[in-house]
Structures are given as C-alpha cells and as structure tokens.
C-alpha cells in the first residue's frame, strides 16, 4: 500500500449526501476477479453526462473528493474504494461515512476525513477555484485563504495510512494469542464447531 | 458482581482474542460465509502472499449473486453453461478456490444451494451467539437468530481467511423496541421498513441495533431474519434479536447444529446471552407496533418510506435542505409527482425474492394473496425466486409453485436474482418494480430501474392489481 501523508491538489466539489456504493461503482462492475481498472466504472451514471465534474478539465485526476453526509452507504463492496483509488482519489472529505466504507477506504490507502458541514460548505466554495491541502500527520485540512480545519482519526488507522501497512501482517504477530483462544474455545464451547 | 451487559456486549466479550490499548480488539470469527463476488480477489491475495486458510472448517462457500435463476441442468441432467462470461469466471474461481483451500462448498446445482444468508441459518451453520461475517452487507440478516453478523469488504475477507479474526472497534448500542401487536396484513418487512423510515438511513451508523419488544418476540425466525437483514438500511452494521425458544426450535436438528449433549450445553449458553436487566444502550427508539401500516418506499433511499395509504411527499416537506435536494432528485428518477397516492402508482414488474424475503413463510404469505387470482395485464414480468433449493422443494411440496404459475408468475431457481443487477434478472430502465428486496438505490435492479420496496404479500397484491395496493383490501 502506498503510504499517505500530505495530499494537495484540486478537490472535486461533489457535495452530495447519502451517496451509496451503487452510485460509486454500479453492480455490473463487480463482475471482475481482479482489482485494477475499476476507475473506469466510478460514478458511471453521473459520468454518462459529458459535462460531469469528474471528467472536466479542471477536476480530472483530482486527488480529493468532497462529499455530503453518509458517504459510501449501501453495500459492503470494497470495489467502491478500489474505484475511487483507481480514479486517483486519495482523500475523501465528508461529514460522515458508512462504517464499512470508511474501513474499506483506509485498507486501500484512502483517507476518509470527517469535518462538520460548515467546514464542508467552506471547502466546496474554495474547491470551485483553488486547491485544498490535507496533512494527515497534523490532521489538518487547509487552504491558501487561511482556512484551517482539524480532524480526528483513529490512531491505528492513521499509522496504517502513514506507513502504508498491510493489516494481515500486523495480525499475524498475534498468532499465539489466536491459537490460545482457539484452544480455550474448544474446551469451553466444543459445540461451536460445525457438527457435520 | 459484573456490570449488567447487553446481548451485543456479551457476544463481543466472548470473542476478544486480544484487547488493544487504543480500544480496538482482535475478534475471533466463528463462521465465515463466502460467495463468488467478493472472494476472488481475496483468494488471489492469499495466493500472492503464500498464505493459507486458517480455519477452513469454519468457512462455507456457496454461489448466489450471479447464478442465473433459469434452469441450470439440461434434460439429461448436465450442467448448462452460464452465458455471461464474467459471471462464469467468478463462479469458476469459487469452484476452484473452495476445494483448493479445503473449504466446504455447496455448488450451483446442489439441492442446498441458495442465497448465502438463507443457507447459513437453514443449514444450522449460523448459530446464536456466534460472530459471522460475509463479504455482503446483508450479513446482518443472521442477527435474527442472535448472531453478531456483519458484512465485510474483500480485504477483510482475505484477513479472515488468513487469520480467522478481524480487528474491530466496539460499536455503540441501540435498542429499537417495538411494543404491541401489528395489525392484519402487516409483516416483518413492514416493521423494518417503518423502523428505517423513523430512524433514517444513517440513524444507526456506528451502532449495533438490538430489536426488542413484544412485536419482535411474536415474529417467527423467518420474520426476525427479515428485520435484522435490513439493519444495514438503517445505517447499523449489525442487528440482533435475542435467541429464545422460537430460535432454538428453528435450529434444532439442522445439519451443522449441535447434537445430543452438545445441544443442551449450547442452549444453556444461548439462554445466558440475553441482555441483563439494568443494562443500558447508547440510544433507544420506541415504536408502536399498532401504528405500523403495510409500507412502501417512494424514493431511492430505504428511509423514503410511507404507509401504502399515504402519498408521495413533496421535497419541501423535509426540514433538512440536503434531504430536500435528495428527495427532488429521487422523485425525478422515480418519475413521481408529490401528492400522488401511492395506491395510484402503476407497476410493471414484480420481484418476490432476495435474502430479505425468500424464505418459506414469505412465499406462503405471497401465495395466500395471489391464490385463485391472476396477475394484471400491465404486469409484464413477475418472478418468484425461492431463497434456497430447500425452500423451493418445500414450497413445491406445499403446491405454492402452482399457485404462482397459475396466476401468471414465473417460478425460478434460487439465487440473488433481481435484488441486484448482476445476473440476467433485471428491471428495464424507466419501469417500476414492486420488490421484496432490501434496496431501492438508483440502478440497483438494473440501470434506470425504479424500485418500490414492499413485503411479499404487498408484492403479490401489486401483481394482482397492476399497481401498488393495500394488501388489506384483498384480504377480506
Ligand atoms: S439477495 Fe440481495 S442483498 Fe441478499 S445477498 Fe443477494 S444480493 Fe445481497
């Protein structure tokens, strides 16, 4: 995973609320057995309009996406995060996310920044003409107009993003603890193993 | 004395492998359900890193999302090829990966095949008090039998395959208490649609919802699975309903369920899981069961719920400006005018199926309405898709298939079907579908499709009249 620290550039002033994963990547794109190339299907319905934001000269390849409440709601498909990543997005800024989406985002090296609606409104304004700066180390989103918003992030997620860490390797360090749990479970609740 | 705990807290505590100082915990996963869509990349990841599946014995794989629901065998009993190359590739990948890693596999033509969330409880693989994950957000469904079950993404599928654990943040708890008795014609689906309308699509975000109250206790296991299935539509990652005698009766004797002395030990343990008196939830929502009508969605978010006796709301009727914008967009997409009576909305397609409503009780409810009647002429496409091969066989033994086919509905093979547009079952652009599934998102049932979520009885009523209909009028 590519480590993520400072991201600066144009931010797509998308702003919609309750954007579900079917909008981010329609179901027919799920029929793949690999992860690459999914960006072509990102926001497909919206991008069917030739004048859409995502493909405009100004925002094509922009690394930041600004969205409304409950971004990434709907299905658990991780394809949504792959599609955003493949589109070139490294940071999403929204007032809230679905739990599954924000987890998937972090696992794929995308930072989900949570900011209050007032901050989102201001950033939407700036994004119309100017770049936005995101600094994960210092947990800030800034603009060249002296806006400075700080955000919270779970320290573990922050470390994973900063170092580009793969979670399975981390968990494998707990192998002994998992083995001990399994033995205890077999002793305490042997019926938990499927009978047949 | 220990602090009183909720059902969620008890299940959580029993699965902590390692507590981390930052509040997260490594949680043991008792059951991992795998299907063809979200697993190929996970297996590819395992292979690339040279890892194996830690507990194949706790893993069950079954294809469901993109298997066609038309006949799968030819007259000679040979498997018919799947026309869509990408679907065929995903199925082939699962068919190869499961045996290679020693995972139990129910193939596409096995009698037990079906939607993963129907198969799990039906096989006794899903048990109360267990942690269950699957790469599908409606894994919440298994909460209906008192399992802590939630959907995960493909990276997490790979993580569970490799380690049988997940690193999780404990959720907040929310109680949705539904007290009283529902009226005639009101099903578990109406209860959960109503709840979703009340709490909103993000109302449960960050929470695990425990459904309690007399109206929930009165539901069969099938009904409870329907309710918990849509916990995710209210933003919660998981739903829970405390296991009780109804649950135990349902599970007893199923293939993977505990047997003999193990059974008694299991039941004793399951009984200990109920929320303690005095335990507190972070949020409580009270619902009056008597106030719930047969319900229907008008928009493209599952929170867009009105009673069937209601009208399409005006965007301006919402206080929140962003909801006003969303509602206006929804109405444009749905081709609906504010003030239109829901009962005047014509319907061209009917879908009875999905992990929300494809169990035997659902099919019985739909058949009871449609029996002796015929679908309306303007209904072009009406399919009934049982949740599993076993549900299908049971329904056929009860003659339900004939009731449907006599009424002009198609009787299909089990699978996810028109719940999501991944297989040949799709709703054409611009057309409406009265659907018993769980999502009315833009394009969910096919590009441009317009979904109205309803109960099985309400879908059957719409089939008969060709428009959204108050099923109570057909029940006299
Ligand atoms: S029926 Fe629909 S919601 Fe259920 S598992 Fe299949 S696609 Fe997912």
Q: Provide the number of structural domains found in chain B.
A: 3
d(CA B134, CA B153): 8
Lowest mean pLDDT among A1-10, A109-118, B466-475: A1-10
Query: Is the same domain home to B415 and B300?
Result: yes
Give the closest-approach CA distance of B247 to chain A in angstroms. Answer: 16
Residue B202 lies in a domain: yes
Query: Residues of B numbered 317-336 whose beta carbons fall under 8 angstroms of chain A's beta carbons: which are they?
Result: 322-323, 325-326
DSSP E strand boundaries for B70-202: 104-105, 131-134, 148-151, 165-168, 172-179
Query: Is the same domain home to B96 and B200?
Result: no
Closest by CA to A5, choosing from A134, A179, A177, A175, is A134
Query: Residues of B numbered 416-445 whose beta carbons fall under 8 angstroms of chain A's beta carbons: which are they?
Result: 420-422, 439, 441-444
Residue B242 lies in a domain: no
B258 touches chain A (CB under 8 A): yes
Q: Residue B207 belongs to a domain with what CATH number?
A: 3.40.1060.10
Ligand 1 atom, smallest distance to B141 CA: 4
Q: Residue B113 belongs to a domain with what CATH number?
A: 3.30.499.10
Ligand 1, atom 2, residue with closest C-alpha: B419
Query: Is the same domain home to B223 and B114?
Result: no
For residue A94, how far is the Cα from the chain centroid? 10
Backbone dihedral region of B339: left (phi > 0), alpha (psi from -120 to 50 degrees) or beta? left
CB within 8 Å: B442 and A45:
yes
d(CA B144, CA B15): 19
Summarize pLDDT for B357-400 with one digit per residue, the tens: 999 999 999 999 999 999 999 999 999 999 999 999 999 999 99
Confidence of residue B267 (pLDDT cuts 50, 70, 90): very high
d(CA B292, CA B385): 27
Q: Which two tokens stand for residue A1?
A: 């995973």
Q: Which residue shows structure tokens 């399994």? A: A182
- Global confidence as pTM: 0.87
Query: Is the same domain home to B11 and B79?
Result: yes
pLDDT, residue B1, reads 55
Confidence of residue B447 (pLDDT cuts 50, 70, 90): very high
Axis crossing angle, helix B221-229 with helix B360-370, rounded to the nearest 10: 100
d(CA A26, CA A134): 29
**If you average pLDDT over residues B20-29, what whole number do you get?**
94
Summarize pLDDT for A40-94 with one digit per residue, the tens: 999 999 999 999 999 999 999 999 999 999 999 987 788 899 999 999 999 999 9
- Which helix or strand (DSSP H or E) is residue B451 part of? strand B450-453
Beta-bridge partner residues of B168: B25
The ipTM, to two decimals, is 0.94
CB within 8 Å: A73 and B202:
yes
Domains of chain A, residue spans: 6-165
Comparing A66 with A173, which gets the higher pLDDT?
A66
Q: Does the structural domain A6-165 have CATH classification 3.40.50.300?
A: no
Query: Is the same domain home to B15 and B138?
Result: yes
Query: Is the same domain home to B164 and B55?
Result: yes
Query: Is the same domain home to B227 and B83?
Result: no
State which residues form the domain around B146. 7-168
d(CA B100, CA B46): 12
Query: Is the same domain home to B179 and B156?
Result: no
d(CA B245, CA B263): 13
B92 touches chain A (CB under 8 A): no
When scoring B64, B94, B206, B441 by the number of chain A Cβ atoms within 10 A, the one with the most, hence best to mutate, is: B441
**If you average pLDDT over residues B293-318, what whole number do you get?**
98
Q: Which of B93, B167, B235 sits opposite A171 (nearest CB)?
A: B167
Beta-bridge partner residues of B73: B79
Residue B258 lies in a domain: no
Residue B386 lies in a domain: yes
Query: Is the same domain home to B110 and B161?
Result: yes
Query: Residues of A numbered 53-82 whose beta carbons fall under 8 angstroms of chain B's beta carbons: which are they?
Result: 68-70, 73-79, 81
Residue B252 lies in a domain: no
Tell me: pLDDT of A117 over 70: yes
Closest by CA to B300, choosing from B263, B271, B264, B326, is B326
Query: Is the same domain home to B463 and B319?
Result: yes
């Amino acid at each position: 995973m590519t480590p993520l620290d400072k991201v600066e550039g144009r931010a797509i002033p998308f702003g919609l609320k309750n954007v579900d994963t079917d909008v981010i990547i329609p179901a027919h794109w799920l029929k793949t057995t690999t992860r690459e190339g999914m960006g072509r299907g990102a926001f497909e319905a919206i991008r069917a309009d030739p004048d859409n934001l995502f493909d405009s000269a100004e925002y094509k390849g922009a690394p930041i996406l600004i969205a409304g409440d409950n971004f990434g709601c709907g299905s658990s498909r991780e394809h949504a995060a792959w599609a955003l990543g493949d589109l070139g997005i490294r940071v999403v800024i929204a007032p809230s996310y679905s739990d599954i989406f924000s987890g998937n985002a972090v696992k794929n090296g995308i930072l989900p920044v949570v900011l209050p609606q007032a901050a989102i409104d201001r950033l939407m304004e700036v994004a119309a003409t100017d770049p936005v700066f995101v600094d994960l180390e210092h947990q800030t989103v800034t603009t060249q107009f002296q806006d400075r918003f700080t955000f919270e992030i779970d320290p573990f997620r922050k470390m994973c993003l900063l170092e580009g860490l793969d979670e399975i390797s981390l968990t494998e360090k707990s192998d002994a603890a998992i083995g001990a749990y399994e033995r205890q479970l077999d002793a305490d609740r042997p019926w938990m193993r499927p009978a047949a | 004395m220990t602090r009183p705990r909720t059902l969620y807290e008890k299940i959580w505590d029993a699965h902590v492998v390692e507590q981390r100082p930052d509040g997260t915990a490594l949680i043991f996963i008792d059951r991992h359900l795998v299907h063809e869509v979200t697993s190929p990349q996970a297996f590819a990841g395992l292979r690339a890193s040279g890892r194996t599946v830690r507990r194949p014995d706790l893993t069950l794989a079954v294809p469901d999302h993109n298997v066609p629901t038309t006949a799968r065998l030819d007259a000679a009993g040979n498997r018919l090829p799947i026309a869509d190359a990408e679907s065929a590739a995903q199925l082939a990948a699962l068919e190869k990966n499961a045996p290679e890693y020693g995972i139990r596999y129910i193939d596409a033509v096995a009698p037990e095949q079906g939607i993963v969330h129907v198969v799990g409880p039906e096989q006794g693989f899903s048990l109360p008090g267990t942690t269950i994950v699957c790469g599908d957000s409606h894994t919440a469904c298994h909460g209906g039998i008192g399992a802590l079950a939630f959907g995960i993404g493909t990276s997490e599928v790979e993580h569970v395959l490799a380690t049988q654990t997940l690193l999780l943040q404990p959720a907040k708890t929310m109680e949705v208490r539904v007290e009283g008795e529902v009226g005639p014609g009101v099903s578990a689906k109406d209860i959960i649609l109503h709840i979703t309308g009340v709490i909103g699509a993000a109302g449960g975000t960050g929470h695990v919802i425990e459904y309690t109250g007399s109206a929930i206790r009165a539901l069969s296991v099938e009904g409870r699975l329907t309710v918990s299935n849509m916990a995710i539509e209210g933003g919660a990652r998981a739903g829970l309903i405390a296991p009780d005698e109804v649950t135990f009766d349902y599970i007893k004797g199923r293939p993977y369920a505990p047997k003999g002395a193990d059974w008694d030990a299991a039941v004793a343990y399951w009984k200990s899981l109920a929320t303690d008196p005095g335990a507190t939830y972070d949020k409580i929502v009270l619902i009056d069961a008597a106030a719930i009508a047969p319900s229907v969605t008008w928009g493209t978010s599952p929170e867009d719920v009105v009673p069937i006796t209601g009208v399409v709301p005006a965007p301006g009727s919402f206080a929140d400006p962003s909801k006003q914008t969303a509602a206006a967009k929804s109405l444009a997409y749905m081709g609906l005018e504010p003030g239109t009576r829901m009962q005047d909305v014509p319907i061209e397609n009917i879908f009875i199926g999905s992990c929300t409503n494809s169990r035997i009780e659902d099919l019985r409810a739909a058949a009871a309405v449609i029996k002796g009647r015929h679908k309306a002429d303007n209904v072009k496409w009406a399919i009934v898709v049982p949740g599993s091969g076993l549900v299908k066989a049971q329904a056929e033994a009860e003659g339900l298939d004939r009731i449907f086919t006599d009424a002009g509905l198609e009787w299909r093979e089990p699978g996810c079907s028109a719940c999501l547009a991944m297989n040949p079952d799709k709703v054409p652009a611009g057309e409406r579908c009265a659907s018993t599934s769980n999502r009315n998102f833009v394009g969910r049932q096919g590009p441009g499709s317009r979904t109205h979520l309803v109960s099985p009885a309400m879908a059957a009523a719409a089939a008969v009249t060709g428009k959204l209909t108050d099923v109570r009028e057909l029940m006299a």
